[in-house]
Chain A
Amino acid sequence: MKIENRSLPQANPFTPEAARIVHTYHLTEDVKFYQVRLVDMDKALSFKYRPGQFAMLSVLGAGEAPFSISSTPSRPGLLEFCIRRVGTITNALFRLKENSLIGLRGPYGNGFPVDDIKGKDIVIVVGGLGAAPLRSVLLYCLDNRDQFGDVSVLYGAKRPAEMIFREEYFSLKERGDLDCHLTVDADDTGAWKERIGVVTTLFPYLKKVNPPNTYALVCGPPVMYRFVIKELLKLNIPKHQILMTLERRMKCGVGKCGHCAIDYIYTCLDGPVFTYWDVLHMRELI
C-alpha cells in the first residue's frame, strides 16, 4: 500500500513573485506613489487585470498586505500603487528605495465591470485616498475615450496638500472631453483656486445626467458613502449602477483566511467592488 498524492497541487497561489520598485515618489507627506515591475519580463507583460482589482504586496520580513492597483491595464508592463503609511508593512515599504525588490501576487477581486460600463455615461466620485483605486478605471476610460459616454469627476480631499494626483486632475480640467470638479474641506494654503467644501457640495455643478444610462463609481473613507449615495439616488441613478469599492482586512486575497467575510461573501473574491443594491441586500457592507 502506498500513501501518495492523489493529485498534486499546481503552483502555490500564495507564492509572491519578485517585483522591482522602478520609480517612487511622495504624493503627499504620508502617501507615496510606486511604479513596480515584475522582474520576469514575460510575466510583467502578460499580467492581466481589470480596473478595481488589487494585489498582495510583500516586504521581506515585514509581511504582506492588499493594495489596490492604481494603474490601468491599458498601459501594460508597469503596475502602480499609491500607498499611505499607516502600519508595519507600509512603513517598511516607505523605507525601500528605487530598485528594491518586493513580492507581488494577484490580481485579485472582481474589479469594475468595465464591459458593462462601456457606452455609458460615468460619474466618478472620489474622497481622499479613494483616488487610488478609481485612478485605474478613470485612466482606462480616458485611454479608451471613444468607448464611453460623458465622463464626470467629483473629487474631494481634506486639504490641498492631501489631494493625491492633483497635478493629474488639474490637467484633466484642461481636457475638453470630460467634466472635472475639485474641492477641499479647508484651504490652509490660500492658493487653492478650486472649490471649498465636502465632496457632496460638488453635485450641483454636475452636468444633467441621463440616469438609466449612467454608472456612478464611488470610493472614499467609510463615512463618505452614505452622503454620496444619497446625492446619487436624488439623481435617480439606478441602485445597481452605483458602484463602490470597499476596504476590508485581508490576509490571503483568495477566500481562505476569512477576515474579509461579509454575510455570505468574501470581499476578496466577490468584491471589493459592490453595488448599492448589494449594500441594501447584505449586512455590514457600509
Chain B
Amino acid sequence: MRILKLKKNDLFPFLEVISKEAELWAPVKKGDKHVFEHVQDFFQIEMQTTRTIIPPKRLMVPPTFNTFTFTAKGYKEDLSHITKKILFGIHPCDIHGLLTLDKLFIQEFIDPYYQRARNQTLILGFSCWPDEHCFCRSTHTHIIEEGYDLFFTDLENYFLVWIGSSQGDDLVRLMPDIFDENLSNKDIQAYILWQQERDKAFKTEINFITMPDLMELEYKAPFWEKVGTACLACGSCTMVCPTCNCYNIVDKQYLGGKPGKRIRHWDSCTLHDYSLVAGGENFREKKSDRLKLWYTHKLQAYVSKYGKPSCVGCGRCLVTCPVGINVKTVARALEGKEVDAFWNRLSREVTK
C-alpha cells in the first residue's frame, strides 16, 4: 500500500480527468439530505456529508432492473443496465456494506448482475466525521483495510490518499505530478491526531459482542410484541440498509409480440407477503415475527456465519424508521434497558 498527499485544489482537476474514463457518481444535496448521483458539475459534490438516503448498494443492484428478456425462443440474459462507474465519496461503513453483500452475492452460485456491476465500479472512498447517529466504531467499520481502489482522508489542508488496488494506482498515474509521495513526520502526526479526535466524536455505542446471545435469550421477550405493534411494515429499514439484499422476481409481458421481461426488484422481509407461499400458508404472518427475522439476520445469524454482525453502523435505520425501531433501540431493549422510542411509548401516548 502506498499513501500519497494531494493538495485540496488538485482534487477537482483530478476528478475531471478520471471522469473521462467512466461515469462519476458522488454525493449531492437533495433537500436537507444527500444522495449518490451521476455528477457533471463537480461543485455539486458534497464532501462533508454523513450518510446518503439510500446506500450505494443501489448502484450494484438497482431497485428495479431487467434480468432476462424472453420470447417464445427462450431467455436472453440482460446486463444492459450495467455501466462503468467511479463511485467517489463513499464512506467506510458503506464500503463494508458492499463487502458484506459480496459475501452473499459472489459465492457458490455467483450472481452475474451484482458481480458485473461490482467489477465495473471503482471505489474512491472518503473519510467522514460521525454525527449523533453513527456507531460504526461499535461495528469496527469506521476503518477499512480492503474494498477500495483509492481512499481519501480529509485533513485540514490536504488529503491523504491511500492506493488500495492496481486500478487505483492506474488512476493516480493519470496525473502523477499532483500526488506527493513524501510524507513528513508532521503529516503523520496530523493523521494520528485526526484519527484520535474522530474516534472521540462518536456519541452512539452498541455492544455487538453480546447480541447473538441476547437475541437467543430474549427471543420471546415481551418487548417484541410492542415493536411488532408499532411497526408500520413499510420496509423502509430494509431499503436504506446497506446490507439488505432481498429481492423479488416478476415476469412482465407486453402486448404486440414485444419480448417479455423478467424483472428483479428489491423486496423487504418486513412486508406482509414476504414468507407467503402458494396455497395461502404465511410462515411469518405477525409483524413481530418478521422483525425478529430481520434482527436475527443482522445481529445473530450473520455472526454465526462470518464472525461479525451484518450491521455496518451507518445509522440509516436510526434516522429513517418513523416509529423508532432501529438497531440502537432494539439493542437497548435486548440489553434490558429502558428505551425512549416511539414504539415503546405507543401504548401510553396513542392508545389512551
Which residues on A are within 8 Å of B, measured CB to CB?
1-7, 9-10, 12-16, 18, 58, 60-65, 84, 86-87, 89-90, 101, 103, 222, 247-249, 251-252, 254-259, 261, 263-264, 269, 283-284
Contacts and interface: CB of A to CB of B under 8 A. Distances in A.
A14 B245 contact: no
A90 B119 CA distance: 38
Given A13-B111, A58-B75, A103-B75, 8 more contacts: A1-B18, A15-B77, A247-B281, A251-B249, A256-B247, A258-B246, A264-B302, A269-B108
B112 A12 contact: yes
B158 interface: no
Nearest to B73: A18
A257 B246 contact: yes
A259 B300 contact: no
B77 A248 contact: no
B105 to A, nearest CB: 6
Given A6-B119, A257-B248, A15 B75 contact: yes
A114 to B, nearest CB: 22
Q: How large is the interface on B (under 10, 10 to 19, 20 to 34, 35 or more residues)?
A: 35 or more
A5, A18, A61, A269: which has the most chain B beta carbons within 10 Å?
A61
Contacts, number: 133
B209 interface: no
A55 to B, nearest CB: 14
Given A13-B109, A255-B104, A264-B301, A1 B21 contact: yes
A58 B72 CA distance: 12
Interface in B286-325: 289, 293, 296-297, 300-302, 304-305
Given A9-B115, A90-B278, A264-B305, A257 B249 contact: yes
B84 interface: yes
B249 to A, nearest CB: 5
B210 interface: no
Given A103-B75, A263-B296, A63 B249 contact: yes
B120 A5 contact: yes
Nearest to B165: A6
Contact of B67 (A5, A14, A263, A269): A14
A257 B251 CA distance: 16
B110 A9 contact: yes
B171 interface: yes
Interface string B169-209: 01101100000000000000000000000000000000000
B283 interface: yes
Contact of A1 (B72, B174, B219): B174
B278 A1 contact: no
Given A1-B174, A222-B281, A263-B296, A256 B250 contact: no
Interface string B92-131: 0000000000001100111110011001101000000000
Contacts of A12: 77, 112
Given A256-B104, A264-B301, A251 B219 contact: no
A249 B119 contact: no
B11 interface: no
A257 B267 contact: yes
Contact of A15 (B68, B72, B247): B68
Contacts of A248: 275, 277, 283
Nearest to B301: A264
Interface of B: 18, 21-22, 67-68, 70, 72, 74-75, 77, 84, 86, 104-105, 108-112, 115-116, 119-120, 122, 167, 170-171, 173-174, 219, 245-251, 253, 260, 262, 267, 269, 274-281, 283-284, 289, 293, 296-297, 300-302, 304-305
B50 to A, nearest CB: 27
Given A1-B167, A15-B77, A65 B278 contact: yes
B60 to A, nearest CB: 13
A259 B246 contact: yes
Given A61-B251, A259-B274, A13 B283 contact: no
B247 A61 contact: no
Contacts of B22: 3
Nearest to B170: A1
Nearest to A60: B70
A230 to B, nearest CB: 21
A258 B68 contact: no
B278 A86 contact: yes
B120 A86 contact: no
A13 to B, nearest CB: 4
Nearest to A16: B75
A60 B260 contact: yes
Contact of A3 (B21, B115, B262): B21
Nearest to A254: B109
A18 B73 CA distance: 9
Contacts of A63: 249-251
A96 to B, nearest CB: 13
B251 to A, nearest CB: 4
Given A15-B68, A61-B260, A264 B247 contact: no
23 contacts: A5-B116, A7-B119, A9-B115, A13-B110, A15-B77, A61-B251, A61-B253, A64-B262, A65-B278, A248-B277, A248-B283, A249-B276, A249-B283, A256-B104, A256-B247, A257-B249, A258-B245, A258-B267, A259-B267, A261-B297, A263-B301, A264-B300, A283-B219
